[in-house]
Structure formats: structure tokens, C-alpha cells
Amino acid sequence: MSTTDRFVPDRLQSPLEQRLKSWETLLLLVAIGIFVANSFASPYFLNAWNLSDATFNFTEKAMIAFAMALLIISGEIDLSVASIIALASTAMGAAVQMGVGMPGLVLIGLGVGLLCGAFNGLLVTRMGLPSIVVTIGTMSLFRGISFIVLGDQAFRGYPQSFSWFGQGYVWWVISFEFVLFAIIALIYAILLHKTNFGRAVYAIGNNATGAMFSGIRVQRVKFTLFLLTGLMSGVAAICLTARLGSTRPSIATGWELEIVTMVVLGGVSILGGSGTIIGVVIAAFVMGLVTFGLGLLNVPGIVMSIVIGALLIGVIALPRLWSMWRAR
């Protein structure tokens, strides 16, 4: 590390060289490798409908992961996202029992997501509490409310027009969820990489005090990010509820872990300050392909969670081990 102070190169890395050596390129190679390995491992893998089904493994999680990426880049975290899904889904389920139609359900889903995000955001930005504890608390609180409402029951009977959000296809094998995922990815890529807001997010993550002295309203930006994360959880809740057609309080259990893994795997620094949306997109595909491939090989879900957990630690540990080994 100390060598970087003394070593001044004549020429910076060319943009092409930089791009080839980036985390995103490496990740893309991994994704392609997994794709090829999967098509050799199972004869059912290379089938348009199967691959389309595989996208459902990650589209909903990835929607939240984009907002979470911005939040983590700014130096905060939200562990309550899966519980927001549960609460939003419960609210929509309760509304169905009262005879609310499709547009109302969507509004309720988004509204609950926004409210939960605002609650997290207020606690973090107004009261100055650490986001990790706040969202560990709201993680039990939000899901706890679902448990109070539902107990061991389930809400069913969602209208046909609502189910389309989770089960509908726009064209041939291209599902509505996949299109929504692509649009949201594009919006977040523009928001993070092409706007002042995105630059403010990076600035806050690298040096919040410096950002404040540069005239960035740090707390307002962070509050907006919590709102966005809540909103995306609401969107994911709509898609997931529509896809499953029922709501139980245990819906989306453990998703917060997979979403954080997706973000970190995508090359976003957990300490804040760096990361890209394209990285998260590729990471979403990698995780989707891994879980789908293992599923085709009849590996039970809980064993996949070992893989996810190992991925989470491995993607951070390996580069550090590599640089420690090179420093010797």
C-alpha cells in the first residue's frame, strides 16, 4: 500500500485497459462461465421458457438491489427491505378482502413501501441513529405487524388483472417483470451515473463531511435514498404477491441477505463510496443463474443458501487475499 505514494506512472491506464481489468468484466466472464457450465450440466437449461422462468429468481430482488446499491454507496444500509415486502403484501391482501381493485392495490403497495422507507429515513437522518440498528429494529417491527395481522393465516383472492404484474408476459417469453427490471436498471444507471444526485451519492459515501461543505444536503439525499429503497420494496412486493397469488407473513424471508449479497457481488464497496449499476445487473444474472442451475440439479434451497453465504464472504475475501499474497 505504501508503494502507491512513491510510484508515479508516466501514463495512466488507458480506458480500454481499465475497462478490461474492472470487476464488472470479471463478473461478466463468471456469468458466461456459469451459463456454459449450466448448459453442459443439465439438458433442460438451454430452453427459452426455462431461461425465462429463471429470470424470476432475481428480477424482484434486483429491483430492490439497485436502490440498495445507492444506499450502500452513500454509506448506509437497509436490512428491513424483506420485511417491507411482507408488510406491503399484507396491506394489499387486507385491501383485497375489503374489495379494493387492481389500481388501488398497486397504490397501496407503493404507498406502504414509501411509508416504511420514510420511517427508516426519518429515524436515520433526523435522529442521527445508525442505519444498521434502525433497520434491524424495523426488520422485526414491519414483519411483526404482518404477523399480528395475519398470524398463521394467509390472504388470497387477488384479482386477475393484478396477477398480471407477476405472471404476465409482454412478448413471447419476455415477462412483464423482466421488462420492469430492465427499465428500473436503466433509470437507476442514469440516476447514479449521469445526474448531480448520483454524484452527490458518491461524494457522501466517500466523505460525508466534505460533501456537506461542498453544499450537498447530506441528510436530504440519504432520506431520499431510504424513500427509494422503500418504494422499490413496494414494487417488488407487488410483483412477488402477484406472482405467488397469496400473502403469508413469512413472505420473502431472508431476502435482505440475498439483496445485500447481490449488491456486494456487483462490486459495490460495503464501506460506501464506489460501485456501479451495471455491476449489480451482472451480479443479479450470476446469482439467478447459480440458483436456477443448482435447482435444475435438484439441490435443495437451503444448500443454495450456503453458496450464497460463501459468495458474499468470498467476493470480498478473495481480492483481499490476492492483494495480501501479491504484497509478499
Partner 1 sequence: MLKRILTSRETLLVGAIILLLALISSRFPGFVAPSNLANVFNDTSPLILLAIGQMIVILTKCIDLSVAANLALTGMVVSMVNVAAPGLPIVVILMIAIGLGTILGMINGILVWKLAIPPIVVTLGTMTIFRGIIFVISDGKWVNSHEMSPAFKAFPRAEFLGLPVLGWIAIFAVIIFTIVMTRTTLGRAFHAAGGNPHAATYAGINVGKTQFCAFTISGALAGLTGYLWVSRFAVSYVDIAGGFELDVVAACVIGGVSIMGGIGTVTGALLGALFLGIIKNALPVVDISPFWQLAISGGAIIIAVALNAQANREKGRIILKRAEHAT
Q: Interface residues with partner 1 (CB under 8 A)?
A: 77, 123, 127-130, 132-134, 136-145, 147-148, 151, 249, 254, 257, 260-261, 264, 270-271, 300, 302-303, 305-306, 308-310, 312-313, 316-317, 320-321
DSSP string, 39-65: HHH-TTSS-HHHHHHHHTTTHHHHHHH
Closest distance between partner 1 and the C-beta of residue 320, in Å? 5
- For 234, phi then psi, to 5°, come to -65, -45
Closest distance between partner 1 and the C-beta of residue 191, in Å? 25
Closest distance between partner 1 and the C-beta of residue 22, in Å? 21
Output 49 or 325, the one with its CB closest to partner 1.
325
- How far apart are alpha carbons 194 and 1 in whole angstroms? 32
Output 140 or 195, the one with its CB closest to partner 1.
140
- How far apart are alpha carbons 183 and 173 in whole angstroms? 17
Helix axes 176-194, 196-206, angle to 10 degrees: 70
Buried/exposed code over 28-66 (b: 16+ C-beta within 10 A; e: otherwise): bebbeebbeebeeebeebeeeeebeebbbbbbbbbbbbb
Find out whether 156 and 89 touch, Cβ atoms under 8 Å. Answer: no
Output 132 or 186, the one with its CB closest to partner 1.
132
Find out whether 235 and 48 touch, Cβ atoms under 8 Å. Answer: no
Closest distance between partner 1 and the C-beta of residue 13, in Å? 26
Closest distance between partner 1 and the C-beta of residue 250, in Å? 10
- How far apart are alpha carbons 97 and 140 in whole angstroms? 25
Closest distance between partner 1 and the C-beta of residue 25, in Å? 23
Output 101 or 254, the one with its CB closest to partner 1.
254
Output 20 or 321, the one with its CB closest to partner 1.
321
- How far apart are alpha carbons 184 and 239 in whole angstroms? 13
Neighbours of 106 (CB within 10 A): 17
Output 91 or 180, the one with its CB closest to partner 1.
91
